[in-house]
Amino acid sequence: MGIIDNFYYNINPEKALKRETARYKVDMLRDMGFKNSGYDEGGASKRKNSMKGWPAKSKSPQKDIDLNLNTLRQRARSLYMTAPIATSAIKTNRTNVIGSGLVLKSRIDHEVIGISHEEADILEKQIEKEWALWSESKMCDNNRQHIFVELQQIALVSWLMNGDCIGLIKYKDATPYMPYQLRIKLIEGDKISNPNSYGYSIDLSLTNEKNSNRIVNGIEVDDDGAVIAYYVSNSYIDDYDTHKEWTRVEAYGELTGNPNVIHIFEAERCEQYRGVPFLAPVIETLKQLTRYTEAEIMAAVINGMFTVFVKTTEGEDDIDFEGVEEELVDGLDKSSYELGNGLINFLKQGEDIEVVDAKRPNINFDGFVNAMTKYIGAALEIPVELLTKNFTASYSASRAALLEAWKSFRMRRTWFANGFCQPIYELWLSEAVAKGRVNAPGFFLDPLIKKAYCRAEWNGPAQGQLNPVVEVQAAALKVEKGFSTREKETIEMNGGNFDSNVEQLALENQKMSKIINLDGGTTNYES
């Protein structure tokens, strides 16, 4: 209690009580919210000077993402075409996630179907041969340009660059050399847009007047948020030379329940219907780094040029000298003095020139760019060693970087296989069974039996080896101790096929066993 409070307490107790009551109320109000508490002391603080200039606001996924999606796409594409680090980030994913293609390995659940393991093995090989007939032909592509593994590569790069990729399911007439009618038409996400929308404006409140469903950036959803249909435009948003038309494509067939649209995107938030470009979190950093790199390159180029400036005492224009012709920026402009390789410029009377020493190359350039590349790689889940293809660290450090990168590669491979390869495979297998090219009793009678027939694995390129001897020994030990199988280790080591290896080794051993008395002795090979 202070001096003033003591004074009122002794002279005017009623006044002292009012002061104490008021002080108590103020303390309560402070405790209720006016006083910093919890996150208000840190990340949610609005009083700290470091936070006052940060009016961060986040709304629905549609407002946060869809309203900015076109700008993000344009900038991500620009970076892919002009920024080496951005190009590396996308191509590194393509090479490691898809590589030469995700290969089908049929895995029929023979217990559900009621057949033996041997019978299932025979059927699996038949299915894989029929699948190769379709997938290794350009007829699988609606545009007849790519085989299926190439469609995988295009679809993944399109997702990384644009945020999503669309695969339209189509059927064309069978031909004598292609019995299957299934076709895949890939389009970029730009062509999925709201009907009658022009330019980059997006109406988030558009509805289908026939059923009152919302249309969210080209995707029709019902009251529960389930995807009902897609609106496919015949041209891009900013293509004003084409008369725009939109086709409503139902997401799933009404009779079969099969997908009519394969929508590939990675959702980050609940109730998100459109994807975000892979480079979105680092667009600004990549652009600034590219500008800095270009400036350093230009400074180094200028610093490497040898240019002579000749001063004239009388200001004579006619100089009896002919230099080497160079490509000039503006050769007709006499007031233009240019730098070049071995270039000579004549100055007029009274003119002078000062050259700023650029001190290039910059000794700090490599360190700064490497630090920023680490920063970018962390956001994209790609270690700097893999992003720059520069392995200078120790074996342990390089292997740790590869293992960390392959966590994200395997995640994206699984996601892509489940979202793109598997649905298309199931559509194809349904057609193969319907046409009688694959014998699968009960396929259309029970969804569980159909699922058992459709079980499959999608194997892609292996991780690679930094020390093959050590890693092969580790793989052999895992098989010996029962922690893994020969088939799994074959896939992990080089992406191969164990069954094919066994068949080929049997043939090779049979041939090698016939070789005897080689170099005066007998060569012994295990059969």
Please give the DSSP secondary-structure letter assigned to residue 393. Answer: S
> pTM of the predicted model, to two decimals?
0.79
Q: What pLDDT, on the 0 to 100 scale, is given for residue 527?
A: 42
Tokens of 98: 């898809």
Tokens 């007029």, located at residue: 348
Q: What pLDDT, on the 0 to 100 scale, is given for residue 525?
A: 46
**Closest listed residue to residue 325, CA positions, set 346, 343, 337, 308:** 343
Mean pLDDT to the nearest integer, 149-155:
97
**Closest listed residue to residue 258, CA positions, set 168, 329, 186, 333:** 168
Tokens 């052999």, located at residue: 476
Cα gap 375→382, rounded to integer Å: 10
**Closest listed residue to residue 166, CA positions, set 96, 233, 228:** 233
Higher per-residue confidence, 3 vs 77: 77
Please give the DSSP secondary-structure letter assigned to residue 185. Answer: E
Give residue 189's Cα distance to chain centre: 14
CB of 233 within 8 A of CB of 193? yes
Q: Sign of the CA dihedral 263, 407, 84, 86?
A: positive
Cα gap 127→134, rounded to integer Å: 11
Mean pLDDT to the nearest integer, 148-167:
96
**Closest listed residue to residue 433, CA positions, set 422, 445, 421:** 445
SS3 309: strand
Q: What pLDDT, on the 0 to 100 scale, is given for residue 199?
A: 63
Please check the confidence at residue 141 and state whether its pLDDT lies above 60: yes
Q: What pLDDT, on the 0 to 100 scale, is given for residue 83?
A: 95
Q: What pLDDT, on the 0 to 100 scale, is given for residue 472?
A: 79
Higher per-residue confidence, 306 vs 446: 446
Please check the confidence at residue 408 and state whether its pLDDT lies above 70: yes
Cβ contacts of 292 within 8 Å, gap of 6 or more? 368, 369
CB of 75 within 8 A of CB of 286? no
Cα gap 389→27, rounded to integer Å: 61
Cis (ω within 30 of 0) for the bond into 179? Answer: no
Cα gap 460→381, rounded to integer Å: 19
Cα gap 309→499, rounded to integer Å: 75
Summarize pLDDT for 356-374 with one digit per residue, the tens.
566 667 788 889 999 999 9
Most confident of 279-283, 403-407, 475-479, 481-485: 279-283
Summarize pLDDT for 8-56 with one digit per residue, the tens.
566 777 777 787 787 777 666 655 555 556 777 777 777 777 877 787 8
Please check the confidence at residue 451 and state whether its pLDDT lies above 60: yes
Summarize pLDDT for 188-225 with one digit per residue, the tens.
999 999 988 776 666 777 888 899 999 999 999 999 99
Domain boundaries, the chain: 3-41, 294-371
Cβ contacts of 422 within 8 Å, gap of 6 or more? 454, 456, 458
Cα gap 108→105, rounded to integer Å: 10
> Which residues does residue 344 pair with via DSSP β-bridges, in sequence order?
308
Cα gap 19→465, rounded to integer Å: 78
Locate all alpha helices (DSSP H) within 417-446, ordered by sequence: 422-434
